[in-house]
Structure 1
Amino acid sequence: MSSGKYIKTKFEGVFYRESQKLDPRTGTKDRIYYFWYADAESRGHWKSIGRHSQGYRPQTARQARMDFLSALSGGRNLIEMDRFTMGDAVDLYVEWARGEGKSIDRPLQQYNKHMRSRIHAIPLSSVTPAILTSIRNTLSNVLAPQSILHQFSFLRRAINHAIARKKWFGSNPVSSKAGGWKMPTVDNGRVRFFTPEEVKYLLADLQKRSPQLHDMALLSLKTGLRATEIFKLKRQDIDPHAGIIHITAKGGERQVIHASSDMIDMLLGYCR
């Protein structure tokens, strides 16, 4: 239910009506956005875009109107375009990718497992930031952040392909550029320390594979030296009397690292 009054926004042809339902996030009356256009016979029409609570804003309604008028002037079948679904875009993209010999089975398998039932049948014109956010939140219970990003990246590529093939003439609702939706972000930085038991197994396994690699790993664990710093070590860098190792740190700076006597003896055991 909404009030009958269309309220003009600052954008040409874009209006909203106040709904009797409240926006759950603000507690105020929700807004339903529309745009107005005239057909070839100069008859006026209203087209509903979506609710404020669903992530729509006057700017997105304005872009939708511009896309609609552009399609209308190009003589495109707007009714057919309104029926073009996310599934249509995915199927079109998969067919093209296979024809190009691209690896598509893995992302398609993940799409079918996690996304298909949630978005496949939804027309692209009806895909809202609220729908995408709901799907993202649901997937966060079963998938890692990186996997979720891959899922939405697959959708974005499929829609971009549909746009390039002129099967869809609107903006890409999965693109952050469309407004109201942000692609998931991933923090790939992870910090975890070995347990003493893990150190024991690691060193034992390395000793079997390569005694030299074992010694480099042990030196790194004992002193905190990076691999690149260990690779550059020379015999003259070792001072056994002071129990220190001279290294060339990042940026070329010379630094001193204190080492235990067993580490010094281990390094001196190498003739070169």
Structure 2
Amino acid sequence: MRNTRKRERVATGIYKRIDAKGEIIYDINFRDEFGKNKFLKVGRKSDGVTVAYCKQYRSKIINMKYLGEDVSNIRKKSSITFDDITEDYFEYVKYADFKEPQSFANRYRDHIKDSLGHLPVESITKNDINNLIMLLKDKNLAPATIDRIRQQVSATFNVAIGKEKCRNNPASVSRVDSSSLMRLNKKSINNARERYLSKDEANLLLSELKLRRFDVYFMALLALTTGARAGEILKIQYKDIDLENRYINLVETKNGSSRKIKITSKVYDILNEIEFESPNKYLFAGSKHDHLQAIPNIYSIIVGELFNSELDSRDTKHRVCFHTLRHTFASWLAINGTPIFTIQKLMGHKDINMTLRYAKLSPDAGVEAVNSLEEKFIE
């Protein structure tokens, strides 16, 4: 068995040693305010701890000592658990005004807490994260769902690092990450939706929605005819609507920049019947005069009845959801021969690669050009 106590000096006050599992551990050496020589474990190399970080951490402790701060109990941080830093993360989520903050709490309760909650944050390694991922795979969760859970764990560590409650993030995935399991999950995600509605399907959905709840029908009509996302539609205020020029200004979009969407005659007629109140009032207001936080459940119920009843709940490529309406808008544009750069602009895509997946639906406009070339130059 290796001697886990034997240290090798790698820089001033920085030492490394090999533990029983063969991993490199970094320690720092300093004298506390009583002149007592102390060694303090910083962390494992496999968790991203470097000599440069150790130097920075040691300098911080020495500065604390010179400022008269108590450094004798610096190990107390090891008692902080993942449950503790999760509370900080939830405060951050609340402060940052994330959409659907309850989903973060549900994700933690259902998938993270039992595996990590009781563990001291400084003891959590990438192996623990990989074990969590294996458990999630055993639950038959979709790869995208698993990675959202990993991202939440990673974000929790980042918040804790910012509050100086831990020193590294074992849930991060970087180019130098040697963990094949984490990289495999990262690479295997494919969220591209292939399902879009036919004309008959769209009209069937709209007629059902109109019959059962008009405001949800109007939301769906907006999405189908403008390509706006659910979050963008729910945040429309009266001041964003310009009936004279027939457009709506989407201020809070996913890519961070505003864009104007032209409205069709049906949308115009509905808006024209509404008595506009305060400019700051939301078009789809909730019970507290704020905007609705999500598309009402009646939409999911109806699309479930019409389209999803025989599909696996994990089949995100083919199940119809509210985002399918945006995908349908772009697909119809492509089928109608709209230039791909025009579709990009209407969809609000910053990256043309996001739009190119619709190119396969476009009629082959190049055929006519090639045929005319042959007629002109080939005898």
Normalised by the length of structure 1, the TM-score is: 0.58
Whole-Å separation in 1 of the counterparts to 2:95 and 2:199: 48
Contact 1:92-1:162 at 8 Å conserved across structures: yes
Aligned to 1:14: 15
Q: Is the Cα contact below 8 Å between 1:71 and 1:169 reproduced in 2?
A: no
1:4-28 Cα offsets, whole Å, 9 max, x none, are 6625375662322363xxx6xxxxx
Which of residues 18, 29, 32 in structure 2 aligns to 1:37? 29
The equivalences for 1:14-93 within 5 A come to 14-17=15-18, 19=20, 30-31=22-23, 33-40=25-32, 41=35, 43-45=37-39, 47=41, 49-50=43-44, 55-56=46-47, 60=49, 62=51, 65-66=54-55, 68-73=57-62, 74=64, 75=69, 78-93=74-89
CA distance in 2, matches of 1:162, 1:48: 16
- Residue number in structure 1 paired with 2:3: 3
- Of 114, 118, 125, 2:115 maps to 118
Which residue matches 1:254? 366
Aligned mates of 1:176, 1:91 — CA distance in 2: 23
Larger Rg: 1
Question: In the alignment, is the contact (CA less than 8 A) between 1:2 and 1:17 conserved in 2?
Answer: yes
What does the per-residue CA deviation read over 1:52-86, in whole Å, with 9 as the maximum and x for residues that have no partner?
8xx45xx6253663464244233466223222222
Deviation at 1:177, TM superposition (A): 5.1
| 1:159-170 pair list within 5 angstroms | 159-164=157-162, 166-168=163-165, 170=167
Distance of 1:178 and 1:60 partners within structure 2 = 16
Note closer, same or farther for the CA distance 1:64–1:173 as it changes in structure 2 (3 Å cut): farther
- 1:18 and 1:158, CA in 2 relative to 1: closer, same or farther beyond 3 A? closer
Q: Which residue of 1 aligns with 2:325?
A: none
Q: Which runs of 5+ in 1 are unaligned?
A: 24-29, 194-198, 211-225, 234-248, 257-272
- After superposition, the CA RMSD in angstroms is 4.2
Q: Say yes or no: does 1:130 pair with 2:122.
A: no
Taking only the aligned residue pairs, the percentage that are identical comes to 14
Task: Give the whole-Å Cα distance in 2 for the aligned partners of 1:5 and 1:208.
Answer: 73
SS of the counterpart of 2:18? strand
User: 5 Å matches for 1:179-198?
Assistant: 180=177, 184-185=185-186, 186-188=188-190
CA distance change for structure 1 residues 7 and 169 in 2, over 3 Å: closer, same or farther? closer
**In structure 2, what is the Cα distance between the partners aligned to 1:178 and 1:89?**
26
What is the alpha-carbon distance in structure 1 between the residues aligned to residue 111 and residue 89 of structure 2? 18
Q: For residues 207 and 99 of structure 1, what CA distance do their matches in structure 2 show?
A: 41
Unaligned runs of 5+ in 2: 207-330, 339-360, 369-379
The structure with the largest strand share of the pair is 1
Q: Conserved in 2, the CA contact under 8 Å of 1:67 and 1:170?
A: no
Is this contact kept in 2: 1:32–1:48, CA < 8 A? no
2:309 aligns with none
Instruction: Give distance in 2, aligned partners of 1:191 and 1:97.
Output: 28
Tell me the CA shift for residue 49 of structure 1.
3.5
| CA-CA distance at 1:192 after TM superposition | 7.8
What does the per-residue CA deviation read over 1:113-138, in whole Å, with 9 as the maximum and x for residues that have no partner? 11101101212211111111111122
Whole-angstrom distance in 1 between the partners of 2:74 and 2:148: 31
